[in-house]
Amino acid sequence: MGERVFWVGTYTGAMGAGEGVYRVRRGPGGALEGPELAGAAASPSYLAVHPGGGVLYAVREEDAGGVLAYAVKDGRLHEIGRREVGALPCHLSLTPGAGHLMVADYGSGTVRAVPLDTGGGFAGEPDVAEGHGSGPRQDRQDGPHAHMTAPAPDGTILTTDLGADLVRSFRIEEGRLRLAGETRLPAGCGPRHLAVHPGGNVFVLTELAATVLVLRPAGGTGGYARLELVAESPATAAESDGESLAGAIRLGDGGRYVYTSTRGADVLTAHRVLDGGAALEPVADVASGGHWPRDLYVDGEWIHVANERSGLVTTFRIGADGVPVLGGPPLEVPSPVCVVPA
């Protein structure tokens, strides 16, 4: 496997020790090298890359939130646009065809679609969908808290709302966000991140209940507008301590395994996919190699884990049995939050 470049988003200022977006390189043996500060920014905690590779998007995770677009040139980032969004934006994704950048605003509970031009620059103001609802955990679910957006196979945009225990489904029609449907999840579970299996089912990682829910389209002609719960399993192989918080979920290559991170327990967990995606079985927990593994990225035979509070990105090699094995010394990156390929 040849070399590959990655971007690392960080927390800055009062939220962390980072200074912006960092550039790191993965060598043929899997080890990460660097980091180099590619662009100073305020808490660019989550990143997304335009399909052409020439534009990087970053949130500004602050109360007065924003999203920024950067042109990539010679390994450096050059700002080409910014838009104001809601409070504490925490996730970005691109719609199929890259016509819009989707933004999840955790603090304000809103979801936004920012129109893009063909080169990846901002082409207008965001369309906004307000959140609603709450949950039984008043310390975390006092109102809506949008946490992630991701496209489904039919182009529907799936969003998780940790505060309202919902998966909300949107479609973009004539440039506007339209709510297509909602799926209510178990009360108090706090859905955080999701991944869509090649078989079509949706795996939802719940932060507060520390479980993985398996959802499937509810049938009819609505596609992914409404989903139904078909299976539930723990987010870790070991019994939960009741205090740890699930972090991220990613598919392994080929969809035979799924990987999750859990903060507090500080583990990376391998889950075996059963019956073509109908259920998951946690098979092994592996120490994340640092503290507070907020996000991870599956890089072929490797997994890179952003351990936020210890300032380390650790790399694991995926074994033949699907279980990750620590692949070498960690890379020091201040307050890393996410890792995405350039």
The per-residue pLDDT for range 150-178, each reduced to its tens digit, is: 999 999 999 999 999 999 999 999 999 99
Q: Is 92 helix (H, G, I), strand (E, B) or coil?
A: strand
Main-chain phi, psi angles of 303, to 5 degrees? -130, 130
Indicate whether 71 pLDDT > 90. yes
Confidence of residue 16 (pLDDT cuts 50, 70, 90): very high
Main-chain phi, psi angles of 323, to 5 degrees? -90, 130
Could you report the per-residue pLDDT of 311-334, keeping only the tens digit for each?
Answer: 999 999 999 999 999 998 999 999
| pLDDT score recorded for residue 253 | 85
| pLDDT score recorded for residue 165 | 98
Alpha carbons 169 and 225: distance in angstroms, whole number = 5
300 and 253 in contact (C-beta within 8 Å)?
Answer: yes
Alpha carbons 258 and 250: distance in angstroms, whole number = 6
| pLDDT score recorded for residue 37 | 98
309-328: buried (b, 16+ CB within 10 Å) or exposed (e) per residue? bbbbbbbbbbeeebbbebbe
| pLDDT score recorded for residue 328 | 86
What CATH code would you report for 235-342? 2.120.10.30
Indicate whether 58 pLDDT > 90. yes
Alpha carbons 28 and 268: distance in angstroms, whole number = 23
- Beta-sheet pairing, 127-129 with 111-115: antiparallel
In this structure, how many other beta carbons lie within 10 angstroms of the beta carbon of residue 287?
A: 12
Which is more confident, 253 or 46? 46
Domain boundaries, given as residue ranges, for the chain: 235-342
Alpha carbons 199 and 303: distance in angstroms, whole number = 22
